[in-house]
Chain A
Amino acid sequence: MDQLVVLLPTLPLVSALLTHLLSGALGRSVSRISVAGGTASFLIAAILLGSVLSGDDVSHLAAGDSWGSLLFDPLSVLMGLLIAGISLLVRIYSVRYMAEEIGYARFFVLLDLMTAALLIMVAAGDLLTLLISWHLIGVLLYFLLGHDTRSTSAYRYGFWTFITYRFGDLPLVLAAAVLFHTFHTWSLPEIFAALAANPDTTTFYDLPVSEVVGALIAMSAFARSAQFLLHTWLPYTMDGPTPVSALMHAGIVNAGGFLINRFAPVFAHTDDVLHWVFIVGVFTAVIGSVLMLSQHDIKKSLGYSTMGQMGFMIMECGVGAFSLAIFHLIAHGLFKGTLFLSAGGIIGEARDDDGVPKDDLYTFIVERQPARNRQPWLLMAAITLTIPVLVLLLSHLLVAPNLFQKQGAIILLFFGWVTGAQLLFATYNMRSENPWRLVALIVFSFIVVVIGYTLISHAFDVFLYPDPEFGTKLYQAAGIDFSWFVILVAFASAVIVLGWLRAYYTERSQNGRWRTPGHWWRNFYALVWREFHILDIYTGLTRGVLAASARVNVWLRWG
């Protein structure tokens, strides 16, 4: 099994080398090497996952004395399978999609190298290997996004990604330096064991090492997963080839969630860091969703959708639901990858026939026709508020009876409740011949989704963090004072319930009539549409720095 662990990242490296060397002789069919390598990697990853599921022990394979080691544990094999799978799909898709592009072989070489870097990152057993792969991913992504070397805009936006990723590398370097300085080893298992044995270990300036390292790791994860203020690269990198967008949105951007999970043994001993992670995640989820709704450009909208999802994933880590974040990143990776890879085909087909059935959903969403006769608003509001919370509570109690001891789980239930209620609220406006049938169908599908989600996330929890004590520690690290928690939950519940009631009442009283938005609302919309002017600020700052640099050079006579 150890040989397979080593072979998994080695195969894409060999494939990259062969693709480069044989591209002249084989021409376009050189892509078969890459696809074959990708298929073999995927099969190996599947075998490794099967072996972990069948109970094989975690192992640590070291090539060098101090670094160059790989971990064979549930997290690395699960992520390895995801990366190998998405990377294989992207390669198969690219065989024809990129056929008329210049630099065909170069594209596959870069894809193979990227796959190798990602596989090494998720399996890295020491800090140095992790740092190297983390850094290389940013560099390779820059060249993948700028694959069309004629396109200056592709490179300009690729540069935004590159510089944000480099910015995110730095806290990880500092975290590695602090850990090495404190524990005198690069090995992750050794560091985690030492920290578990002595959680109160301090470092420079007598600061607790878990807090310092946790904060630095979180910052690195924020940059990689496009959290607010470090997000501008994500919606603007659509000038790169579509397969790269798919790989980026489905795999690379999820690295933040992976990193936080890899350092879970550090976060388990933190006091405040996870609270900040939660705040940043929530803020990003809300801002990303608002920006997504305000954009006219569908590609930018997709980019902001990913940003919102990443915010939610980071928020899940912030409440202590680490394994749920992994489930989320896998689910998001699969559906966003599908969206990107199928986008081109759908656009082509839609030119002949949009293929959208003219049903209730179509008239409501596309034609924007609200129902003429509505159900009693109070009854609908009551259904909206109570059914989701009942479904969520019952399904969670089924798998985890001690649910209410975990604040994080309650917060996630809260989000589930809001989502379910939003779904039901939509039916209030929809034109339908049989509205109760529609409500029943929505409730049924909601139950299926919630039960599926609950069971799968529970399975992830058992698989990734089999020690229940450790899972409880993570939730405790994310918890806040209980009385404050109750106050916050009660306040948020009250705001949401009042909001829904008001929304129902307003819908009922307006009865479908359009009201011109006020001055403040229009200004807010303009602000959101301009993406809060964050890009303008960054552009101004960049120009300022470059102008200052040139001025200093002139003062010093270029010497």
Chain B
Amino acid sequence: MTDLGLVLIGLFLPLFPFSMAFNAVLERVSHPLLRSALLLAWPQVGLWALSAHAAAIPSWLALWALATALLYAFRLLAMREMGRWSGFLATSAWAVLWLPACAGVETSQLWNFAAAFSVPLALLTLLASVLENQFGAAYTGLYGGLARRTPRFSGVLVISVLAATATPVFPAYFAMLHSVIVSQPIPAAVLTGIWLMWSWAAARLLQGLIVGPAEPSPEHDLPIVTTWGYAVGLAGLAVAGVFLTGGSL
């Protein structure tokens, strides 16, 4: 595969400006399940194409990917709509995958890393649809007070956002750590800066949604069975983090 072919992979393992294609597609897909499926499948296509590339990935491509990840992390700070927020975080996180790929990390491990970033974002997309149904928009800073209004939903939302922004012991944490370890000092320092911006954006998203005075509204909260479903899923994700992505370190 030529360098041009590698650049085309940048549609799926985002490289700016090709990354804009993914965000445009994500915006046009309205069904939450389809959006989740898109988030799960998109980087895997890129990794599948990358696995066909036998030669070493040039270092300039890793720098391009790092710049893309940084750009989308920076843009994430001002993003208030949950759907686009997930798209931007996905773009930033998937771009990070180029660094371990460039360092020669095995493709099977990269698939795990991509899933580590995608699964919590897919869960977030489903949660965003709940908000859209209830309020007409999943928009941080618009209504707030969800922790009082719908405590079960808020609990699941908080943990999903933490999982998506690479908090221990979720798999994305180990994926980020692995990416830092295999990088040279300056890219590693930039990666930690990107990580910091994700945390900043996560806190802004959560504060605008869960904080604030409101009356309890149990009829709008997640049903107990659904909450348990999410809880088991997130617990499974944490276990996968410790044993799958964490186990590789």
Q: Write the residues of chain A forming the contact surface with B, with a CB cutoff of 8 angstroms.
A: 64, 66-67, 102, 128, 131-132, 135-136, 139, 142-143, 146, 149-152, 155-156, 159, 162-163, 166-167, 170, 173-174, 176-178, 180-181, 186, 204-205, 545-550, 552-553, 556, 558-559
Bound-state Cα–Cα, A102 to B177, Å: 37
A146 CA / B206 CA spacing, docked (Å) = 12
User: With A and B bound together, what is the CA distance between A163 and B165 in angstroms?
Assistant: 14
Known pairs A66-B249, A135-B168, A142-B203; A556 contacts B211 (CB<8 A): no
Among residues of A, the one whose C-beta sits closest to the C-beta of B149 is: A149
Chain A proximity of B178: nearest CB distance (Å) = 10
Contacts of A167 in B (CB 8 A): 196
B207–A155 touching, CB < 8 Å:
yes
How many of B's residues come within 8 Å of A, CB to CB?
46
Would you give the shortest CB distance from B192 to chain A, in whole angstroms? 4
Distance in Å: Cβ of B24 to nearest Cβ of chain A: 6
Q: Could you say which residues of chain A place their CB within 8 Å of the CB of B249?
A: 66-67, 128, 186
In the bound complex, do residue B207 and residue A159 qualify as a contact, i.e. CB atoms below 8 Å apart? yes
CA distance A546 to B212 in the complex (A): 22
The smallest C-beta distance from A546 to any residue of chain B, in angstroms, reads 6
Q: Which interface residue of B71, B76, B199, B246 has the most chain A CB atoms within 10 A?
A: B199
Flag if B212 contacts A553 (CB, 8 Å): no
Q: How far is the CA of A559 from the CA of B20 in the complex (A)?
A: 5
Residues on the B chain within 8 Å of A66, using CB:
249
A residues near B7, Cβ cutoff 8 Å:
none
Given that A128-B249, A159-B207 are known contacts, is A180 also in contact with B181, CB under 8 Å in the complex? yes
- Docked CA distance A94–B170 (Å): 30
Instruction: Known A549-B75, A556-B20; judge A131-B177 contact (CB<8 A).
Output: yes
Nearest CB of B to A434, in Å: 59
A-facing residues in B70-129 (Cβ within 8 Å)? 71, 74-79, 84
Which chain B residues border A142 with CB–CB below 8 Å? 203
A163 touches B200 (CB 8 A): yes
- In the complex, chain B residues whose CB is within 8 Å of the CB of A131: 168, 177
Nearest chain B CB to A314's CB is how many angstroms away?
Answer: 23
Q: Are A139 and B213 in contact (CB under 8 A)?
A: no
7 A-B pairs with least C-beta separation = A149-B147, A549-B78, A550-B78, A170-B192, A559-B20, A132-B168, A549-B77
- B169 CB to nearest chain A CB (Å): 6
Contacting residues, chain A, for B30 (C-beta < 8 A): none
CB distance from B211 to the nearest CB of A (A): 5
A155 to B196: give the CA distance in the assembly, Å: 18
**B167 contacts A552, CB within 8 Å?**
no
Within 8 A of A (CB), among B15-36: 20, 23-24, 27
Interface of A is mostly: helix
Residues of B within 8 A of A (CB): 20, 23-24, 27, 71, 74-79, 84, 145, 147-148, 154, 158, 162, 167-169, 173, 177, 180-181, 183-185, 188-189, 192-193, 195-196, 199-200, 203, 207, 210-214, 246-247, 249
- For A162, the closest partner residue in chain B by CB is B203
Which residue from B27, B77, B180, B195 sits with its C-beta under 8 Å from A545?
B77
When the two chains form their complex, are residues B181 and A177 in contact, meaning their CB atoms are under 8 A apart?
yes
**Contacts A66-B249, A166-B196, A553-B79 given: A152-B211 contact, CB under 8 Å?**
yes
Interface residue from B27, B177, B212 paired with A173 (Cβ < 8 Å): B177
- Which B residues are CB-close (under 8 A) to A552? 71, 74-75
Closest to B81 in A: A558
Specify which of A102, A167, A205, A549 lies most central, judged by the most chain B CB atoms within 10 Å of its CB. Answer: A549
Besides A151-B211, A167-B196, A173-B195, 19 more A-B contacts (Cβ < 8 Å) are: A67-B246, A102-B148, A128-B177, A131-B177, A132-B169, A143-B158, A149-B147, A149-B210, A156-B207, A170-B196, A174-B185, A174-B192, A177-B188, A547-B78, A549-B78, A556-B75, A558-B23, A559-B23, A559-B27
Do A64 and B162 form a contact, CB below 8 Å, given A150-B213, A556-B20?
Answer: no
| 25 residue pairs bridging A and B, Cβ less than 8 Å apart | A132-B168, A139-B162, A139-B167, A142-B203, A149-B145, A149-B147, A149-B210, A150-B145, A150-B212, A152-B211, A155-B207, A162-B199, A163-B200, A163-B203, A173-B180, A173-B195, A174-B189, A178-B185, A204-B185, A205-B185, A546-B77, A546-B78, A553-B75, A558-B23, A559-B27
Q: A174, B145: Cβ atoms under 8 Å?
A: no
A163 to B199, CA, bound (A): 8
